[in-house]
Amino acid sequence: MSSEILKLQGLVSGYQPDLPIIQGVDLSVSEGEFLVLLGPNGAGKSTLVKTIAGLVPVHSGRVYLAGADLTDVPTHRKMRQGLGFVPQTENIFATMTIRENLQLAAQILPKARRAARIDAMLAMFPDLASRQTTRSGALSGGQRQMLACARTLIVEPQILILDEPSAGLSPKMVSEVFEQLVRINASGVTTILVEQNVKAGLQIASRGVILVEGRVAHDAPADGLLGDPVVSELYLGGHKKEEVTA
């Protein structure tokens, strides 16, 4: 439980060279941890996880995965080195069927393992198994998130990062997705979850990190943050914003 899997060191990043959005983030994540990344709209949560995935240019600082410096490694190679990332929107190939999405994701595995991994994902997400030839653009929001998770988990990443998988889902679907995440984390996959709903996020995670204006404002065990009067006043005030996925 204690070995470090992800480490961010003085990370500064942003979409334009002279406009840093992430303004110096240090973070160390241990193997098996379930970390929820919280913060107000525009705090930079998505930017931070996209930087880790290699989708946003790093201005300075380093990103280490299992001790290896991956800062300048292109996205597709990061994915091959055990990093799994589910973006907030457009996280499946809508023109392809469920099965094609899985086949595509399995493509970077050795040939002999592909079929078994596809079967393992279908067993893990039975909803998908019964609809393999459905065009994934026709799936409901919850099923899409399941497929997005399956697409990412198929290669057995060491760490799974999800950007607001609950956005736009019904409360019932949200709890289904969260249950699945808890199960995935329990199977040994380190999990980082970006979440708008502070309370729900802190209830399933073991650790909470609150990002404000591109900096880490709080970093503490989840149950501690849940009971923290400052946090609850700042972020549990009830002005939860509804978001709709595109």
Partner 1 sequence: MITQAIMDGLINGGIIGLGAIGVTLTYSILRFANFGHGELLSWGAYVALSLSAALGAMLPSLSTPIGPFSFGWSVPIALIGSMVLTALLALTVDWLLFGRLRRSGSAIIILVMASFGAALALRNLLEFIFTSKPAYFTNALQISKPLFGGMRATPDQLLVLGLAFITVVLVHLLLTRTPAGRAMRAVSENAQLASLTGIDVRNVIRLVWVLGAALAAVAGVMSGLLVQIRPTMGLDLLLPLFAASILGGIGSVPGAMLAGLIVGLAEALTIQVIGAEWRAAVAFVILVAVLLLRPNGLFGKATA
Ligand X SMILES: Nc1ncnc2c1ncn2[C@@H]1O[C@H](COP(=O)(O)OP(=O)(O)OP(=O)(O)O)[C@@H](O)[C@H]1O
Residue ranges that bind Mg ion, judged by CB under 5 A? 46
**Which residues between 90 and 149 bind partner 1 (CB under 8 A)?**
90-96, 100, 103-105, 107-108
212-218 long-range contacts, CB within 8 A, separation 24+: 212/39, 212/40, 212/43, 213/23, 213/43, 213/44, 214/20, 214/21, 214/22, 214/23, 214/24, 214/25, 214/43, 214/44, 214/47, 215/23, 215/24, 215/25, 216/25, 216/26, 216/27, 217/39
From 151, 153, 160, 207, residue interacting with partner 1 (rule: CB under 8 A)? 151
Q: How far is the CB of 229 from partner 1 (least distance, A)?
A: 39
Question: Based on CB atoms, which residue is closest to ligand X, 61 or 114?
Answer: 61
Task: Pull the structure tokens for residue 67.
Answer: 């001790």
Q: How far is the CB of 228 from partner 1 (least distance, A)?
A: 34
Q: For residue 69, what is the enclosing H or E element?
A: strand 68-69
Question: Based on CB atoms, which residue is closest to ligand X, 128 or 160?
Answer: 160
* Binding stretches for ligand X (CB under 6 A): 15, 21, 39, 41-47, 196
Q: How far is the CB of 148 from partner 1 (least distance, A)?
A: 9
Question: Based on CB atoms, which residue is closest to partner 1, 104 or 116?
Answer: 104
Cα radius of gyration (the chain) = 18
Residue 41 binds which one of Mg ion, ligand X, partner 1, none, with CB within 5 to 8 A depending on kind?
ligand X
* Token pair 């700042």 in the structure block, residue: 234
Residue 94 binds which one of partner 1, ligand X, Mg ion, none, with CB within 5 to 8 A depending on kind?
partner 1
**Overall size of the chain counted in residues:** 246
**Cα 121 to Cα 116: distance, rounded to the nearest angstrom:** 9
Residue 90 binds which one of partner 1, ligand X, Mg ion, none, with CB within 5 to 8 A depending on kind?
partner 1
Q: How far is the CB of 44 from ligand X (least distance, A)?
A: 4
With a CB cutoff of 8 Å and minimum separation 6, the contacts of 90 are: 246
Question: Based on CB atoms, which residue is closest to ligand X, 11 or 102?
Answer: 11
Taking CB under 8 A as the rule, which mask of x and - marks residues 44-73 in contact with partner 1? ---------xxx------------------
Q: For residue 186, what is the enclosing H or E element?
A: helix 171-186
Question: Based on CB atoms, which residue is closest to Mg ion, 46 or 166?
Answer: 46
* Angle at the Cα of 21 from the Cα atoms of 84 and 224, rounded to 5 degrees: 65
Residues at the contact surface with partner 1, assessed by CB under 8 A: 53-55, 74-77, 79-80, 85, 87, 90-96, 100, 103-105, 107-108, 151-152, 155
